[in-house]
Amino acid sequence: MIKNLGIIILFLFLGYVVISQENIKIIFSGIAIFLIGMYFMEDGFKLFSGSVLENILQRFTSNLFKSITTGFFATTLVQSSSLISVIVISFLSVELLTLTQGIGVIFGSNLGSTTTAWIVSALGLNIKISLFAMPMIIFGAIFRFMNGNTYKGIGNILLGLGFIFLGISYMKDGFETLKDSIDLASFAMDGFLGLIVYIIIGAVATVVIQSSGATMAIIITALSSGSIIYINALALAIGANVGTTVTAIIGSLTSNENGKRLALAHLIFNIITALVAVIFLHYIKDLVDYISPYFNIDSTNYSMKLALFHTIFNILGILLVAPFINIIVVISEKLIKKKVSKYSKPKYLLQSNINIPNASMLSIKKECINLYENCQKAMLHALNFHTTNLKTKEDLKIALTKDIKKIDTNIDEIYQNNLKSLYSEIIRYSTFAQEHMTSSFQLKKVGDFKRCSKLIIEVLKDIRDIQRNVNFYLKSKNEYIKKEYNILREELATILIDINYLDNDELSEVEKLTQIEMIKELLNKNDLSNSEKIDVLIREDKIKATMATSLINDSASVYTIQKNLVEIATLLFIKDELIKEIGEQTNAS
């Protein structure tokens, strides 16, 4: 109640200031329009690039240099370090990038964000860009309402650029008016205290606005109008760099441990960079003065000097911190440890990924594999196999020679208390993720994963029905029925081991498909063999009729389970769609 009242009072005060002060209204309008432009730009690149941006980040990050370079160019292109941070966090969550690669991209992204200052100082102040703003907004609106994501994406980018240019123009006019009525330069502060105060102001402004690009635009327009002095503008730029880490921290709150570690690394980098900039401020300032003529920057053009300063101290930060990335990774892993729970909770279904089609699709796939692994463990325990030393068929042969010790496994309890919630989360997350997907391929894949998770639960329930007879007949004095149920156990354990072999990135798609075809052939042979053996056992009166009935039903259930497991394996581990289609056609025939 008090919090809500405080917000209402704040808004009323802000409304009064905006209405009563014309120049403040113009500046705030410029900031608002600039932020709308940033939003449209970000959304436009999401639509226009489709999964191109994600593919670039995934493919060109094989080493540290490539990671930093990719982060720089990606941020320069989309003009949003926040978007790059969100994509990197989403890729870390589904393990498409290592933490080292992710940190490298973020370092490069920090450098890429400095290009906003160059655009504002070079174009926004020297050219009357408001003349270009309106045509961009007009054509952007036309493209925005055309069919197709490419056109909508181009429309949003044009709208974004138009609003950004218009926002800069408003801010510039606002500060010019404000300077005429109030001499803001009189509030300038020299010395170390002034430096710290303006760094804090820059950081707070970036946290509030949630855009270091917008903060830099405000600083540059204020500096160009003479509202602030050059040395204070440098301090504000340092503060903006520190404040931008809050975006990564907020984005990591809904992420897993690696997302939080990335945010910590980002914070470490920006704090070290800021400290270096503060300690060597006058040296860097002198360096800027020395090299400015080589960039055709006039000695009195403090706006472009600020952009150059912003770039130089970020480059220094990368040069100083990049060699110690592995140490930062170790520290972050020690400070932020993986949480272990006895219950299965979603590991990969992160809310931060749901708006990014490729990332959400991979999140769902990973979670289906997680569900399958939990189900597999429950299945093997239900069949009285210990999973610790059961990796290969040789391990299985050894396990079958040992005396059977019943493992107390309540499938119903495991399902109700554990896997049901995991399955429900997959279905819920998939449904919401599909709302952000426009590609038929992505929609189909997510549909396949939903079916896959349903099959996994069906397999678990079918095992529950077999488990009772397995435990009962393995204690039987009738060696024939005991042997047949041991064979059923072996068949189920064998197919699980074979499927685990498919979860190997070193195997080609053709090799995986060949493995699946071999499993199918073995299933058909086993099914025929089991039917013939049961007939022989009945005719020779080696098992009773009640035993035969149970064995017939359980053999049929085992065959159904195995068929479902093959389909699950195909959906989860075969990536090539054409090969998968061939496999499905073969299965249908």
pLDDT digit string, tens, across residues 59-103: 777 788 888 988 888 888 776 676 677 778 777 766 777 888 888
> Which pLDDT band holds residue 449 (cuts at 50, 70, 90)?
very high
Res 428: pLDDT: 92
Kindly state the average pLDDT of the residues 296-324. Answer: 89
Q: Is 551 exposed, middle or buried (0-12, 13-18, 19+ CB in 10 A)?
A: buried
Kindly state the average pLDDT of the residues 339-368. Answer: 76
Residue 242 has pLDDT above 90, yes or no: no
Q: What is the largest CA-CA distance in the chain?
A: 109
Percent of the chain's residues with pLDDT above 90: 6
User: Which has more confidence, 318 or 184?
Assistant: 318
> Which pLDDT band holds residue 128 (cuts at 50, 70, 90)?
low
Kindly state the average pLDDT of the residues 289-309. Answer: 88
Query: Which of 68-82, 87-101, 184-198, 472-486: highest mean pLDDT?
Result: 472-486
> How many residues are there in the chain?
589
Non-local (6+) Cβ contacts of 2 within 8 A are: none
To the nearest 10°, the Cα dihedral for 208, 209, 210, 211? Answer: -140
Percent of the chain's residues with pLDDT above 70: 80
392 phi-psi bin (left φ>0, alpha ψ -120 to 50, beta other)? beta
pLDDT digits (tens, 9 = 90+) for 141-165: 888 888 777 778 788 878 877 887 7
- Is-contact 82 38, C-beta < 8 A? no
pLDDT digits (tens, 9 = 90+) for 212-221: 777 888 888 8
Which one-letter amino acid corresponds to residue 111? L
To which residue do tokens 């410029």 refer?
Answer: 30
> Which pLDDT band holds residue 24 (cuts at 50, 70, 90)?
low
Residue 329 has pLDDT above 80, yes or no: yes
> Which pLDDT band holds residue 454 (cuts at 50, 70, 90)?
very high
Res 172: pLDDT: 61
> Which pLDDT band holds residue 173 (cuts at 50, 70, 90)?
low
Which one-letter amino acid corresponds to residue 475? K
The full 3-state SS of 209-239, as one line of letters, equals: HCCHHHHHHHHHHHHHCCCCCHHHHHHHHHH
Res 247: pLDDT: 61
Residue 168 has pLDDT above 80, yes or no: no
105: phi then psi, degrees, rounded to nearest 5 = -60, -40
Res 114: pLDDT: 85
How is domain 354-588 classified at the architecture level of CATH?
Answer: Up-down Bundle (1.20)
Residue 455 has pLDDT above 90, yes or no: yes
Side-chain-side CA neighbours of 332 within 13 Å: the count stands at 23
User: Which has more confidence, 37 or 520?
Assistant: 520
To which residue do tokens 């189909």 refer?
Answer: 444
Q: Where along the chain do its domains lie?
A: 25-335, 354-588
CB contact burial 251-265 (16+ within 10 A = b; e otherwise): bbeebbbbbbbbbbb
CA dist., res. 258 & res. 95, Å (int): 9
Tokens of 499: 């499927």
Res 123: pLDDT: 65
- DSSP, res 353: G
To which residue do tokens 């639960």 refer?
Answer: 457
Side-chain-side CA neighbours of 62 within 13 Å: the count stands at 2
User: Interior CA angle at 303 toward 300 and 308, to 5°?
Assistant: 100
Helix axes 212-224 and 149-181, enclosed angle (nearest 10)? 40
pLDDT digits (tens, 9 = 90+) for 396-424: 888 888 877 778 888 888 888 788 888 89
Residue 577 has pLDDT above 70, yes or no: no
CB contact burial 133-166 (16+ within 10 A = b; e otherwise): beebbeebeebbeeeeeebbbbbbbbbbbbbbbb
- DSSP, res 185: G
- Is-contact 302 223, C-beta < 8 A? yes
- DSSP, res 97: S
- Is-contact 462 382, C-beta < 8 A? no
User: Which has more confidence, 29 or 168?
Assistant: 29
- Is-contact 529 434, C-beta < 8 A? no
Provide the mean pLDDT of the chain: 79
Residue 588 has pLDDT above 60, yes or no: no
Residue 585 has pLDDT above 60, yes or no: no
Residue 365 has pLDDT above 60, yes or no: yes
Res 589: pLDDT: 45
CA dist., res. 93 & res. 261, Å (int): 11
CA dist., res. 422 & res. 378, Å (int): 14
Residue 4 has pLDDT above 80, yes or no: no
CA dist., res. 56 & res. 47, Å (int): 15
The full 3-state SS of 482-526, as one line of letters, equals: HHHHHHHHHHHHHHHHHHHHHCCCCCCHHHHHHHHHHHHHHHHHH
Residue 50 has pLDDT above 60, yes or no: no
User: Which has more confidence, 298 or 122?
Assistant: 298
Kindly state the average pLDDT of the residues 47-54. Answer: 57
User: Which has more confidence, 184 or 10?
Assistant: 10
> Which pLDDT band holds residue 126 (cuts at 50, 70, 90)?
low
> Which runs of consecutive H residues, i.e. helices, occur in 113-211?
115-119, 130-144, 149-181, 191-209
Tokens of 578: 């054409």
Q: Whole-angstrom distance between the N-terminal and C-terminal Cα of the chain?
A: 67
> Which pLDDT band holds residue 340 (cuts at 50, 70, 90)?
low
Residue 463 has pLDDT above 70, yes or no: yes
C-beta neighbour count of 378 within 10 angstroms:
25
To which residue do tokens 């496999």 refer?
Answer: 583
- Is-contact 212 242, C-beta < 8 A? no
Minimal CA–CA distance to 106: which of 75, 62, 77, 79?
A: 75
CA dist., res. 122 & res. 295, Å (int): 12
Q: How far is CA 107 from the centre of its chain?
A: 17
Kindly state the average pLDDT of the residues 190-201. Answer: 82
> Which pLDDT band holds residue 319 (cuts at 50, 70, 90)?
very high
DSSP string covering 379-430: HHHHTT--STT-SSHHHHHHHHHSPP------HHHHIIIIIHHHHHHHHHHH
